[in-house]
Chain A
Amino acid sequence: MELYRLGISELKELLDKKEVSPKEVLDSLFKRIDAVEDKVKAFVTVTRDKAYEMAAKNTDGVLSGIPLAIKDNICTKGIRTTCSSKILENFIPPYESTVTSRLLEAGYVLVGKTNLDEFAMGSSTENSGFFPTRNPWDLERIPGGSSGGSAAAVAADECIGALGSDTGGSIRQPASLCGVVGLKPTYGRVSRYGLVAFASSLDQIGTITKSVKDAALLMNVISGHDPLDSTSAPVAAPDFTEVLSKDIKGIKIGVPKEYFIEGMDKEVESAVKDAIKTLESLGAIPVEVSLPHTGYAIATYYILATSEASSNLARYDGVKYGFRAEGKDLIDMYMQTRAKGFGSEVKRRIMLGTYALSAGYYEAYYKKAQQVRTLIKKDFEEAFKQVDIIATPTAPEAAFRFGEKTDDPLKMYLSDIFTISVNLAGVPGISVPCGFTSNNLPVGLQLIGKHFDEATILNVAHAYEQSTEWHRRKPEL
């Protein structure tokens, strides 16, 4: 088997036993990238030279010699970090994000920075300021988003694993659409220092991998309190690999009735229901639960996320770094820079958020949305009194075609209908492959856990993965 096909844990074993060298791994991987990247277009920047340099260092870290891809909204010192935006097209961070610092200590090798919807705003990677990424399962279709580059790179075996970020489903939805494993940890579990902010109270860095075990391995490296991020929780992280093989007998799985609604894609529905049956056969107990405020999640999310974004993106003003357009005076320079530097979805969200925060509207929008957010959080707290985890579809449908939803933002926003509540509540969620549509497009199962209980969803996801073959299927490229 080609080395590029391997996941982190398999490759780690070979590297640890010195059966292969980091250089051989990279040779194999870049051969793969050279062969398929033109079709997939997962990367904004491929860091070939840097990768060989890093691989030559031979550390004894747990990820020594493991080639990973990093979403291009996570700052890497000295390596261009664009957020797939023209406004940061030439931005080279003078500092390293906490997650990549931890990966560096663990000896990882950076293969490249992956494409995303500009500033992580989107669900298809069509909003990239540079080019769209294609779904390795069907190059006519979108890979999901916003971490579409990372998900496609993992699915196309252009890297061994990847990091993404998830504000409303941006890891789980593309993982689902690309047939890989995507984990969004609890808000506060992983430091956000160095993650270019979209919506600070919702953003969370997570993993996109070829298996659940790989997710656990990466989580062991990137989790834990960071003094540079005061919203990172001072909660000790367990060894996530240790709990993977626990028996899941007796685990109660909540199935929220609000997530299985009329009009949803039949193939997705049946794949997810089959997955729940599989879990039942492994000893888990399905229980119907209710998350009554689910219907308000999208509206709530798009008020809060855009409000925060309108402020977070104010720094891109042409003064200090990034793109600057000439203007006849200061105000004109600001306007020209932002008009030319940002894409239309980013501008739409900045305007929405600015409006929601404006005097006279704040109470009706932002404040109200915060109150609803509390109710959504309570929904989960109530449900978790009865069950250990919650199972839902990750996305309402499999990968759609390019351009299918670009003219209708609302339709696009609905792609995240099953993932958004998880961010609002701050709980962890994982998407694992659970079947294919008749078009041979992957479908994902989402497992949602209690605050800081990634261990249980990883455990159940692993048990499911071990008893199915979905994650072994590879797209033909």
Chain B
Amino acid sequence: MKKYEAIIGLEVHAQMLTDTKIFCGCSTKFGSEPNTQTCPVCTGMPGVLPVLNRKALEFAIRTGLAMNCKIAPYSRFARKNYFYPDLPKGYQISQYELPICEHGYIEIVVDGEKKRIGITRIHMEEDAGKNIHEGDHSLVDLNRTGVPLMEIVSEPDIRSPKEAVEYMKKLRTILRYIGVCDGNMEQGSLRCDANVSVRPVGQEEFGTKVEVKNINSFKFVERALDYEIKRQIKVLEEGGTLVQETRLWDSGAGVTLSMRTKEEAHDYRYFPEPDLVPVTVDEKWTEDIRATLPELPDAKRERFISEYGLPEYDADLLTSERALADWYEEAVKSGGQPKAVSNWMMGELMRLLNEANASIEDCPVKPAQLAGMLKLIDKGTISGKIAKTVFEEMYKTGKDAETIVNEKGLVQITDENAILKTVDEVLASNPKEVERYKNGEEKLIGFFVGQVMKLTKGKANPKAVNELLRKRLKEQ
């Protein structure tokens, strides 16, 4: 059997986080009553004209800059013509020949290897509405009509479903970092179509390309591509030929199904949109926008490694969300030891957030509070074990660690005499174990420590307990 490799390019639609639509002043809020966020412009009344939302243009430029694109000083809108009830004008205003951004790239890491994925272009367009089918009739909701979208088209640089997932994740991270898209695939604010082909390893030319549509979650990116690649290889292996077509991912059945072939493809009759003047962007504005860009995930990750001495794994995770990274840095700035802060965030904090299905933005514990708790551990006021209980309480109540420790009397017992008293108690009530220890079963030390900790409700300093136990056992 020949070895095949997959060639994948992704077309990602990202809904921009502007307050208003791209060509009118209607709200872009999600989930309102149908047709309550519409006006003559977005419902395609006779005689209306579009006016470009400057914020949408700024967001597109922002995205282009974050993805290393060239920003076109002159670009223009075009009409994509087709009939559908959710498209009130009978055409979608998009960009075609002259998009706002071109020739960029982003970097992904797969199996420890860095890889650059080219961005062919980013263009602006308006979203369509939504058809709702009910029994023998259909209804149209135009609230979403005119919501600004960016279409981000990658080069066919992706070679596996895994790379595709990493690409999507990185794209999402960048979009969220720069505040242009919330990246929510389930709500449809990030949508993905894939161009997939396979070819025998070593072959130069690309194979026949198939477009897979309707991939609307991260989980499905991998599954849909996996399925499609296997399907294509199977066709070739069985001596068949692939047809250029558009296929639809059916997430229920876990298969892609043919939607239309090349012959049935639409002729969209693109032509320059005469109702909008060409978009001109001067260099000064581009530079002003560049100056407002935050530190991007790759740069932040590198800095976390060099500045805080974090392992790659920690740096990756902590920089996957801007808010998470900010939280981390604030905790470190408040005096938390960098690796300790990272451990606590990736461990306890993430666990509690996940359990509550909350994001870091809603975290009841403030970064300085975590740093405060870590100081208590350092000073020996509480043990690492007690700290877990304290942290949970902090998460529940929002109180400082110190307050909780005092209120609950959780201060660690470091007084040797007090510990010694308990140690003696434990040894006295477990004569058999003492005997066995003396006969060489040294691992029983763990048992004794456990007993002491139990009696002191975990407040005894574990190090002191250990030392005192060994000392007493030797003396006996």
Contacts and interface: CB of A to CB of B under 8 A. Distances in A.
A406 B452 CA distance: 108
Contacts of B91: 311, 314
Interface of A: 73-75, 81, 83, 88, 91, 93-95, 97, 192-197, 199-201, 227-231, 307-308, 310-311, 313-317, 319-321, 330, 334, 354, 357-359, 362, 366
Interface string B74-95: 0000010101010011110000
A357 B46 CA distance: 22
A366 B272 CA distance: 10
B47 A197 contact: yes
A320 B271 contact: no
Given A314-B89, A314-B90, A357-B81, A193 B271 contact: no
A230 B276 contact: yes
A-B pairs with lowest CB-CB distance, top 6: A314-B90, A200-B274, A357-B269, A201-B274, A196-B46, A196-B47
Interface residues of B, number: 28
Given A230-B275, A357-B81, A358-B269, A320 B44 contact: yes
A341 B320 CA distance: 56
A72 B81 CA distance: 26
Contact of B46 (A91, A201, A319): A91
Contacts of A230: 49-52, 275-277
A227 B49 contact: no
Contacts of B276: 230-231
A193 B274 contact: no
A319 B277 CA distance: 29
Given A200-B275, A231-B275, A357-B271, A311 B90 contact: yes
B43 interface: yes
A195 B44 contact: no
A93 B46 contact: yes
A85 B171 CA distance: 49
B197 to A, nearest CB: 22
A317 B46 contact: no
A334 B84 CA distance: 10
A320 B88 CA distance: 7
Interface in B148-180: none
B47 A315 contact: no
18 contacts: A75-B47, A93-B47, A194-B47, A200-B274, A201-B274, A227-B51, A229-B51, A230-B275, A307-B271, A308-B271, A308-B274, A310-B81, A311-B81, A315-B46, A317-B90, A319-B140, A321-B45, A366-B271
A192 B45 contact: no
A311 B271 contact: yes
A316 B44 CA distance: 9
Given A94-B40, A231-B275, A319-B85, A311 B269 contact: yes
B359 to A, nearest CB: 39
B266 to A, nearest CB: 10
A457 B196 CA distance: 61
Given A94-B40, A230-B49, A330-B85, 16 more contacts: A73-B47, A93-B45, A95-B45, A97-B47, A193-B48, A193-B49, A197-B47, A231-B49, A231-B276, A311-B90, A314-B81, A315-B46, A319-B140, A320-B88, A334-B83, A358-B267
Contacts, number: 103
A354 B269 contact: yes
B269 A315 contact: no
A94 B45 contact: yes
Contacts of A319: 85, 88, 140
A216 B440 CA distance: 114
B83 A88 contact: no
Nearest to A194: B47
Nearest to B82: A314
Contacts of A196: 46-47
Contacts of B270: 357, 362
Residue among A230, A315, A357 with the highest chain B CB neighbour number at 10 A: A315
A362 B51 contact: no
A81 B40 CA distance: 14
A83 B48 contact: no
B463 to A, nearest CB: 73
Contact of A228 (B51, B90, B274): B51
Nearest to B51: A230
- Residue among B43, B79, B269, B276 with the highest chain A CB neighbour number at 10 A: B269
Contacts of A313: 90
A4 B91 CA distance: 45
Interface in B442-472: none
A311 B47 contact: no
A308 B90 CA distance: 12
A75 B83 contact: no
Nearest to B273: A200
A192 B85 CA distance: 26
B99 to A, nearest CB: 18
A319 B40 CA distance: 15
A228 B46 contact: no
